[in-house]
Amino acid sequence: MATAPAQWNLEVDVVIAGSGLGAMSAAIVAQDNGLKVAILEKAPKLGGVCAYSGGEVFVPCNYKMLAEGTEDNETEAFAYLDFLAGGYANKALQRILFDKGREAAEYLGEKAGIAWKTIKGFPDYHYPHAPGTLAEGRYLEVELFNGPDLKEWQKKTYLTPHMPPGINHDTLFEWGSVSCVTKWDFAHMGKQIGADQRGMGPGMMGYFVKAALIDRTNAQAFVETPVRELITEGSRVIGVRAEAADGNDFFVKANKGVLLGVGGYDWNEEMAIQFEGLPEWKSMCQPHLHGDNIVLGGEVGASLGGVPSYNLGMFFGYTIPGEEHDGHPLCRASWEGGYPHAIWVNDEGKRFCDESFYREYLPKVHGWDGVKQQHTNYPPYLIFDSNYREKYSFATFLPGMQIPDEMIVKADTPRELAEKLGIDADNFVETLERFNSFADGETDPDFGRGTYPWAAKFIGDRDRPNPNMGPLNKAPYYGIKLIPVGVGVNCVGLKTTATGQVQHVRGHGIEGLYACGNAAAPLDTGAGYQSGLSNLRNMTWGYVAAQHMCGIL
């Protein structure tokens, strides 16, 4: 471990490693209580994984929904969080997340100018099939953010390649959904992009970066400055050795504490395969998540915690030849399996899930056959036909655009497609015939596809009897083997206490060291996921950690 230098390059009260939602929440709270802050970001831009997200923050009983007259019952709301946890949550941390999450959202809205709004008509994932779910109100996002308000940080904050630019969710749903790209108003979107009006994750992080670095003046931020080691004095963390953009050591003293908001291990394939339980792993996130939380924490005796990996936030997807971000290949999530005229099959040529609802298919893809010693449904194959190609986009390719040959398999018949993909042709032909027999109707008797309002709203085409179904009966046919693509939500991280401190392997908190968001083990949420929970965890524990460093908790 690094030892304290003869002279520090910078001395502050709080050092924050990372610049996502948790980091900026902590920076805001710390400054509001008179502390000086240094933000050290490994990447060349600010915003972290949160900037790549949809910008949803899932906050039951939030003050915005209550002000709008949308009722939420605390007992029922907590019951839903408990349902999602699947028995794997730490009850104390779960309760703090629930209580402090809504407190943090209100504080940041009222004191930091975060222009929260509820997403209209957007249901909880499991509505109405799980206890305590609501049809709308619990998702917060922000009003569009004016990019020029970031001043010198305008070009140094991440935009997202994954979500539609220049709009928020209400506009997206007004235009249809993610499947209905041909109905989007691209002229309007172009004007918004030209004026740098930001929605989704970039909009949310725009407000937070502005609040932390423009509206408040006691914080400094450094990009391309990864934290390499924690510096201790006795059992207390007192600062960090970072690597400056010029490659030299940059020692920063932290009089109150160091917060690790560095995310997880999405780009450390060895860690990801080991912890996430799949034979390969790629990521949709920026290529700067290498498990620094585990390395830095491990060197000072931090304890790791984890939950089962098979139903957290991740997807299956693909890469488009030539697409990059920060000099590395860009992976994209595949939502297409839940569009009409598309299905998923395994290598036996059989459907195995509701392709429109990833909470249902993730455990099944992780499933293991102990006799064959292999995953039962891994890898999944996305299949669609020319009905699909005439109506919907695949990846970034609109109807009529050529999909690169190296990306997709194409055939004139279902049997030929199966043979080219290496899946069981007889089973596949039978699977397609059965699916087509009910795909123009309202119900899926095999897997209940289309019964989750969230999937119908976000992915489906609501002009169809079942927004998530349509037959595959028009040649040519298309197929692609999908790969796992993480979104930074990992099953293993640093154990933390009720005050956000990192927990030592001996069970006590490590003085001066805190963690938030994806750097911390998801013991507050457990073994399930709901869109916006990762952002809630980031915001809440950044808020809590800063309060503790300020002496409020």
Strands across the sheet with 139-142, in order? 57-58, 139-142, 116-118
pLDDT, tens only, 437-451: 999 999 999 999 999
At 153 the pLDDT is: 98
Neighbours of 7 (CB within 10 A): 8
pLDDT, tens only, 399-414: 999 999 999 999 999 9
Task: Give the DSSP letter of residue 416.
Answer: H
Distance from C-alpha of 240 to C-alpha of 224, rounded to nearest angstrom:
15
CA atoms within 13 A on the CB side of 305: 24
pLDDT, tens only, 116-172: 999 999 999 999 999 999 999 999 999 999 999 999 999 999 999 999 999 999 999
Res 93 pLDDT > 80: yes
Neighbours of 214 (CB within 10 A): 14
Res 416 pLDDT > 70: yes
Distance from C-alpha of 546 to C-alpha of 549, rounded to nearest angstrom:
5
Do 433 and 359 form a contact (C-beta atoms < 8 A)?
A: no
Q: How confident is the model at residue 90 (pLDDT cuts 50, 70, 90)?
A: very high
Task: Give the rounded percent of residues in the chain with a pLDDT score beyond 90.
Answer: 99
- The whole-number average pLDDT for the span 514-518 is 97
Smallest CA-to-CA distance from 17 within 288, 285, 259 is with 259
At 553 the pLDDT is: 87
Domains of the chain, start order? 10-230+235-242+489-549 (3.50.50.60), 335-481 (3.90.700.10)
At 522 the pLDDT is: 98
Q: Which residues contact 189 (CB under 8 A, 6 or more apart)?
A: 164, 165, 166, 167
Question: Count H helices, E strands: the chain?
Answer: 16, 25
- Mean of per-residue pLDDT scores for the chain: 97
- The whole-number average pLDDT for the span 262-269 is 98
pLDDT, tens only, 175-229: 999 999 999 999 999 999 999 999 999 999 999 999 999 999 999 999 999 999 9
Do 330 and 323 form a contact (C-beta atoms < 8 A)?
A: yes
Specify which residues 2 forms β-bridges with: 231
Distance from C-alpha of 450 to C-alpha of 436, rounded to nearest angstrom:
15
Distance from C-alpha of 354 to C-alpha of 364, rounded to nearest angstrom:
10
pLDDT, tens only, 320-362: 999 999 999 999 999 999 999 999 999 999 999 999 999 999 9
Do 525 and 85 form a contact (C-beta atoms < 8 A)?
A: yes
Do 427 and 348 form a contact (C-beta atoms < 8 A)?
A: yes
Q: Which residues contact 118 (CB under 8 A, 6 or more apart)?
A: 62, 64, 65, 68, 70, 136, 137, 138, 139, 140, 141
SS3 assignment, position 376: coil
Res 464 pLDDT > 90: yes
Q: How confident is the model at residue 2 (pLDDT cuts 50, 70, 90)?
A: confident
pLDDT, tens only, 139-153: 999 999 999 999 999
Res 1 pLDDT > 70: no
- The whole-number average pLDDT for the span 489-509 is 98
- The whole-number average pLDDT for the span 475-493 is 98
- The whole-number average pLDDT for the span 367-384 is 96
Distance from C-alpha of 238 to C-alpha of 233, rounded to nearest angstrom:
6
Burial (CB count <10 Å: 0-12, 13-18, 19+), residue 247:
exposed
pLDDT, tens only, 424-438: 999 999 999 999 999
Distance from C-alpha of 463 to C-alpha of 473, rounded to nearest angstrom:
19
Task: Give the rounded percent of residues in the chain with a pLDDT score beyond 70.
Answer: 100
- Both ends of the chain: CA-CA distance in Å? 30
Do 296 and 552 form a contact (C-beta atoms < 8 A)?
A: no
At 111 the pLDDT is: 98
Do 352 and 452 form a contact (C-beta atoms < 8 A)?
A: no
DSSP string, 153-195: GGGGB---SSS-TT--HHHHHHH--TT-GGGS-HHHHHHHHHT
- The whole-number average pLDDT for the span 393-401 is 96
Reading the block at residue 486, the tokens are: 């993480």
CA atoms within 13 A on the CB side of 308: 14
